[in-house]
Amino acid sequence: MRGEALAQEVLRLKRERNAVILAHSYQLPEVEEVADFVGDSLGLAREAQRTRAEVIVFCGVHFMAETAAILNPEKTVLLPDLEAGCSLADSIRPEDVLAWKAKHPDGIVVAYVNTKAEVKALADVCVTSANAVEVVSQLPQDRPIYFVPDMFLGAHVARVTGRRLDLFPGECHVHAGIREEHLKALLEAHPGAEFLIHPECGCGSGCLYLKPDAKMLSTEGMVRYAKGAEAREFVVATEVGILHRLKKEAPEKAFFPVKPDAVCEYMKRITLEKVYLSLKEMRHVVRVPEEVARKARRALEAMVAVG
């Protein structure tokens, strides 16, 4: 089966299994089209909590499916491809957090949601790119803060909040690959366009120097801003999967990727055929050990409650 026939079969199986399909905005267009909800990490976590479905098919990467499993221990969470990992989540180990905590017993660990469950279990609070600034701005002023694992997002949060943060030197390989020279080329080609920059990008501060009115936004923030803005052209600095959703939700506007080959190979491992097989065979179930899940759940529930 291919195309529309495969999509219809996915929808049939979804009803049969009493399932919900959640997809990140970086997913392939055909996967997004069968999803019940498409959004960023924060929105997806909230939808996972909200759903009455018995089965959650998570079209994203492994840490996202783990998050859904932690927040919904009574539901079955499926990840269509277990190899859909995350280079950023893989960059940090629990030992890294424990070493910092040993030196800062009164410190606060802020974990970006792009981490494995074992790291979340050691965190005081989790954040997404959509609410990291708000969460950090509300933390006690007299305690040290360790922001893990994305150093570029952490630098953005420190710049906006004025807080001193200890940063773990992690990065998303896709966003780190978006550099100033890419921005300069698009600035010359589209001088009247608005620039939408994801805070994970390695070019963040350089972009603000090149274009001071650039907007530093999460993926959901990009969609929301583009829909409401008067501008007709936008230069977008993030994984190119977002373009499908932007064009769908704001069809009268033009979007230009800063780096057309900014593709997350892990996100793209989820295909429509794999979604079909996941529903048909109930594979692959994502489980988190209860002791780890219990500790991580506290930090994730704090994240979901903010922003």
C-alpha torsion angle, residues 26, 30, 35, 37 (rounded to 10): 40
Is 203 annotated to bind a ligand? Reply is: no
- For 24, the 3-state DSSP assignment is strand
Is 266 annotated to bind a ligand? Reply is: no
Is 182 annotated to bind a ligand? Reply is: no
Task: Determine the Cα–Cα distance for residues 270 and 27; give it in Å rounded to an integer.
Answer: 7
- For 299, the 3-state DSSP assignment is helix
Residues found in the chain: 307
Is 114 annotated to bind a ligand? Reply is: yes
Is 91 annotated to bind a ligand? Reply is: no
Q: Name the DSSP letter for residue 101.
A: H
Is 219 annotated to bind a ligand? Reply is: yes
Q: What are phi and psi of 90, to 5 degrees?
A: -75, -15
N-to-C CA span, the chain: 41
199, two tokens: 């805070």
Is 112 annotated to bind a ligand? Reply is: yes
Task: Determine the Cα–Cα distance for residues 153 and 298; give it in Å rounded to an integer.
Answer: 22
- Of 247, 205, 250, the closest CA to residue 228 belongs to 250
Is 10 annotated to bind a ligand? Reply is: no
Residue 4 bridge partners (DSSP): none
Is 113 annotated to bind a ligand? Reply is: yes
52, two tokens: 């009455």
Is 271 annotated to bind a ligand? Reply is: no
Please provide the DSSP assignment of 165-214 as one string: -EE--B--HHHHT--HHHHHHHHHH-TTSEEEE-TT-TTHHHHHHH-TT-
Residue 55 bridge partners (DSSP): 19, 76
Is 207 annotated to bind a ligand? Reply is: no
Which residues line the annotated binding site for [4Fe-4S] cluster?
Answer: 86, 172, 264
Which residues line the annotated binding site?
Answer: 24, 41, 86, 112-114, 129, 172, 198-200, 219, 264
Which residues line the annotated binding site for iminosuccinate?
Answer: 24, 41, 112-114, 129, 198-200, 219
